[in-house]
Amino acid sequence: MNIALTHLQRLEAESIHIFREVAAAFAKPVMLYSVGKDSSVLMHLAMKAFYPAKPPFPFLHVDTTWKFREMIAFRDQMAQKLGFDLLVHVNEDGVRDNINPFDHGSNTHTHVMKTVALRQALDKYGFDAAFGGARRDEEKSRAKERIFSFRNAQHVWDPKNQRPEMWKIFNTRIATGESIRVFPLSNWTELDIWQYILQEDIPIVPLYFAKERPVVERDGMLILKDDDRMELRPGETVENRLVRFRTLGCYPLTGAIESDADTLEAIVGEMLTARTSERQGRLIDRDEAGSMEKKKREGYF
């Protein structure tokens, strides 16, 4: 009999195990749905883990109001198709104060509209466990994080004092107000994600595929002019170029790459020969050294 599991089968089994563990051990879990490719994989795994039932938790999208329009359309379409319970949270204080990436910079914008918004949402609903799609191969401080990552009542991560995590035996015990961030994709690499999307035919936002799009060159990045809120600086022009995105976030903070990869196979091929990491396209990681760790300690995913 053919008994050796393939690499992807192992990763899939591990992730499904993690999903079920949370469903069994926590009173009120939630899945953070960021609409990107990792979220798409996460959602697919959640559907598998509880089949024939639906995932026994809602999906939460923290909307900064600056996401690509195609992401929002895709999100609503998926929610309808798969029939999951979608919660959308916006930091209304930030909207009132008109916090935006152009006037306030990526740091303040991300902190107010993402990190604080997330904390608000977790507190509002009283979630005690939250799934996220972070992978250890993405970034140095993520490489250090446990699969079940403890947060105190203020949502703070203490990287110097993490719980030991032995075998597949997860410590799911918390006191009132505390919570756990759970990362089922911890051991997946970017290649694994694409390979799985290809194998399972998982729908992803069309922005990942190359297409002629109106972009502006700014600070060494190609920014898609997704709506009229983006004002051109002197000397800037909008050009139609053949581009795609390796990662997705807030459109003013996410750089496109020039590419003609318009199929999954071509994307994988391009990734295999890439010479820069996927986070290269993210403005928020570059602000200062150790910036991801700092954001994570404050409650960012």
Partner 1 sequence: MRHITAESLAPTDGIRDYLAVQEQKSLLRFLTCGSVDDGKSTLIGRLLSDTKQIFEDQLAALERDSRKHGTTGDDVDFALLVDGLEAEREQGITIDIAYRFFATPKRKFIVADTPGHEQYTRNMATGASTADLAIVLIDARQGVLRQTRRHSIIASLLGIRHIVLAVNKIDLVGFDKAVFERIIEDFRQFSHKLGFETIVPIPMSARYGDNVTSRSDKTEWYSGPTLIEHLEAVSVDEAVVELPFRFPVQYVNRPNLDFRGFAGTIASGSVSPGDEVVVAKSGKSSHVRRIVSHGGDLSQAVAGQAITLVLDDEVEVSRGNMLVSPAARPQVADQFAANIVWFDEHALLPGRSYILRTETDQTSATVTDLKYRVNVNDFAHEAAKSLEMNEVGICNISTRAPIAFDTFAENRTTGAFILIDRITNATVGAGMILHSLRRAENIHWQSLDVGKHGRADLKNQRPAVFWFTGLSGSGKSTIANLFEKKLFATGRHTYILDGDNVRHGLNRDLGFTDADRVENIRRVAEVARLMADAGLIVIVSFISPFSAERRMARELMANGEFVEVFVDTPFEECARRDPKGLYARALNGEIKNFTGVDSPYEAPENPEIHLKTLGKSAEEMVEALELWLNERDIAENQYDSGGGI
Mind giving me the DSSP string for 257-283? EE----SHHHHHHHHHT-SS-GGGGBG
What distance in Å separates the CA atoms of residue 41 and residue 287, rounded to the nearest whole number? 29
Q: How far is Cα 274 from Cα 279, in angstroms, rounded to an integer?
A: 12
DSSP run (H or E) holding 216: strand 211-218
**Dist. CA 194–CA 268, nearest whole Å:** 6
Q: Please identify, using beta-carbon distances, which residue of 227 and 260 lies nearer to partner 1.
A: 260
The CB-of-291 to partner 1 minimum distance in angstroms stands at 10
Shortest spacing between CB 272 and partner 1, in angstroms: 6
Q: Which is nearer to partner 1, 56 or 105 (CB)?
A: 56
> What is the residue type of 50?
F
Closest approach of partner 1 to the CB of residue 174, in Å: 6
Q: Of 123, 171, 174, which is closest to residue 147 (Cα–Cα)?
A: 171
Q: What minimum distance in Å lies between the beta carbon of 101 and partner 1?
A: 21
Handedness of CA 246, 143, 129, 190 (dihedral sign): positive
Question: Which of 224, 223, 271 lies closest to 246, judged by CA?
Answer: 271
**What is the signed CA dihedral for 275, 277, 283, 287, rounded to 10 degrees?**
-100
User: CB of residue 58 vs partner 1: minimum separation in angstroms?
Assistant: 16
- Identify which of residues 47 and 95 has a Cβ nearer to partner 1 in the complex: 47
Give whichever of 146 and 181 is closer to partner 1, judged by the CB atom: 146
Q: Strand 29-32 and strand 179-182: pairing? A: unpaired
Of 7 and 69, nearer to partner 1 (C-beta) is 7
Considering beta carbons, is residue 121 or 292 the nearer one to partner 1?
Answer: 292
Q: In angstroms, how far is CA 17 from the centroid of its own chain? A: 20
The total of other beta-carbon atoms located within 10 Å of residue 273's CB is 6
The minimum distance between CB 95 and partner 1, in angstroms, equals 32
